[in-house]
Amino acid sequence: MAKVTVRYWAAAKAAAGVAEEPYEAATLAGALDAVRERHPGELTRVLERCSFLIDGDPVGTRGHETVRLTEGGTVEVLPPFAGG
């Protein structure tokens, strides 16, 4: 398990009610499961439309269960937004 910071942007930030928070997970899938558990409701729906950066690198179409997290790393949660 790696300790990571999950940062929320735009609609994800509004739905979470915080800009960032710490999690422990081995993979992106594990981190997102923990996020959904902590924030049931609107954030769960927003996550379905998000893209993700891990330590600045786009996840793209890779399976979230295959994306390993590193100790002290960052997961950026980027919902679609107008103009972007």
Task: Determine the straight-line distance between the first and last CA of the chain, rounded to whole angstroms.
Answer: 33
Cα–Cα distance, 47 to 44 (Å, whole number): 5
Amino acid residing at 8: Y
Q: Per-residue pLDDT for 84 more than 90?
A: no
pLDDT (0 to 100) of residue 22: 98
Instruction: Answer whether 0.85 is exceeded by the pTM.
Output: yes
pLDDT tens-digit profile of 2-61?
999 999 999 999 999 999 999 999 999 999 999 999 999 999 999 999 999 999 999 999
Q: How many whole angstroms separate alpha carbon 74 and alpha carbon 30?
A: 14
* pLDDT of 82 above 80: no
pLDDT number for residue 60: 94
From 16, 20, 17, select the one nearest 75 (Cα to Cα). Answer: 20
Token digits of residue 20: 């960032």
